[in-house]
A and B are shown apart, each in its own frame.
Chain A
Amino acid sequence: MLVANLKAELETEVWDCLDNVTDPELDEPVTDMGFIERIEVKDAKSVKVEFRLPTYWCSPNFAFLMAFGIRREVTSLPWVIEAEVQLNDHCFGDKVNEGVNSGRAYHDIFAEYCDGAKLDEVVETFLAKAFDRRQETVLLGLQALGHRPSEIVTMTLAELQQVTFNGEEELRQLPRYLDLLAVQGLATEPDDLAFTTWEGHEIAVADLSDHLTRLRSTRINMEFNGALCRGLAKTRYKEVEIGPDGPQLIDFIAGHVPPREEAAATD
Chain B
Amino acid sequence: MFKTPNGKEIFVIDGHTHFWDGSPENQANIHGKQFIDCFYAYHTNLSPEDQLWEKTKFEKYSEDDIYRDLFVEGPDDMAIIQTTVLSDFYKKGFGCLERSSEMAKRHPERFIVNGSFDPRDGEKALEYIHYMKEVYDIQGVKMYTAEWNGDSKGWALNDPSAYKCFELCEKLGIKNIHVHKGPTIIPLSKDAFSVDDVDYAATDFQNLNWIVEHCGLPRLDDFCWIATQETNVYAGLAVAMPFIHSRPRYFGEVMAELLWWVGEDKLLFGSDYAIWTPGWLVEKFWNYQIPEDISAERGGVQLTDEIKEKILGLNAARLYGIDVAAKKAELAGAPVQIAAE
| Assembled-state Cα–Cα distance A58/B183 (Å) | 7
| Contact residues in B for A113 (Cβ distance below 8 Å) | 186-188
Closest CB-CB distance, A119 to chain B, in whole Å?
Answer: 6
In the complex with contacts A55-B41, A217-B224, A227-B247, A118-B189 CB distance below 8 A: yes
In the complex with contacts A217-B220, A236-B41, A247-B192 CB distance below 8 A: no
Interface residues of A in 102-159 (CB under 8 A from B): 110, 113-115, 117-119, 121-122, 125-126, 129
Would you call A247 and B38 a contact (CB within 8 A)? no
Would you call B54 and A232 a contact (CB within 8 A)? no
Q: How large is the interface on B (under 10, 10 to 19, 20 to 34, 35 or more residues)?
A: 35 or more
| Contact residues in A for B31 (Cβ distance below 8 Å) | 56, 91
Q: How many A-B residue pairs have CB under 8 A?
A: 136
In chain B, what residue has the closest Cβ to A222? B221
Most buried by A among B55, B188, B217: B188
Chain A interface residue count, CB cutoff 8 Å, equals 50
Would you call A60 and B250 a contact (CB within 8 A)? no
In the complex with contacts A224-B254, A231-B45, A218-B221 CB distance below 8 A: yes
| Contact residues in A for B221 (Cβ distance below 8 Å) | 129, 217-218, 220-221
Closest CB-CB distance, B82 to chain A, in whole Å?
Answer: 18
Would you call A246 and B246 a contact (CB within 8 A)? no
Closest CB-CB distance, B227 to chain A, in whole Å?
Answer: 12
In the complex with contacts A240-B44, A247-B49, A247-B52, A114-B186 CB distance below 8 A: yes
| A249 on the B face (CB < 8 A) | yes
| A242 on the B face (CB < 8 A) | yes
| A260 on the B face (CB < 8 A) | no
Would you call B220 and A224 a contact (CB within 8 A)? yes
Contact pattern, B 126-163, Cβ under 8 Å of A = 1, otherwise 0: 00000000000000000000100000000000000000
| Contact residues in B for A248 (Cβ distance below 8 Å) | 49, 52
| Assembled-state Cα–Cα distance A110/B186 (Å) | 11
| Assembled-state Cα–Cα distance A61/B153 (Å) | 13
In the complex with contacts A227-B247, A235-B45, A238-B44, A56-B38 CB distance below 8 A: yes
Instruction: List 11 contacting pairs A-B, 8 Å CB cutoff, sorted by A.
Output: A55-B38, A59-B193, A60-B188, A216-B297, A218-B221, A221-B221, A232-B38, A240-B52, A241-B54, A247-B51, A247-B53
Task: List A residues at the B interface (Cβ < 8 Å).
Answer: 25, 54-62, 64, 89, 91-92, 110, 113-115, 117-119, 121-122, 125-126, 129, 216-218, 220-221, 223-225, 227-228, 231-232, 234-236, 238-242, 246-249
State the 8 A-B residue pairs at the shortest beta-carbon distance, nearest first: A117-B189, A247-B52, A56-B34, A114-B189, A231-B45, A114-B187, A59-B192, A221-B221
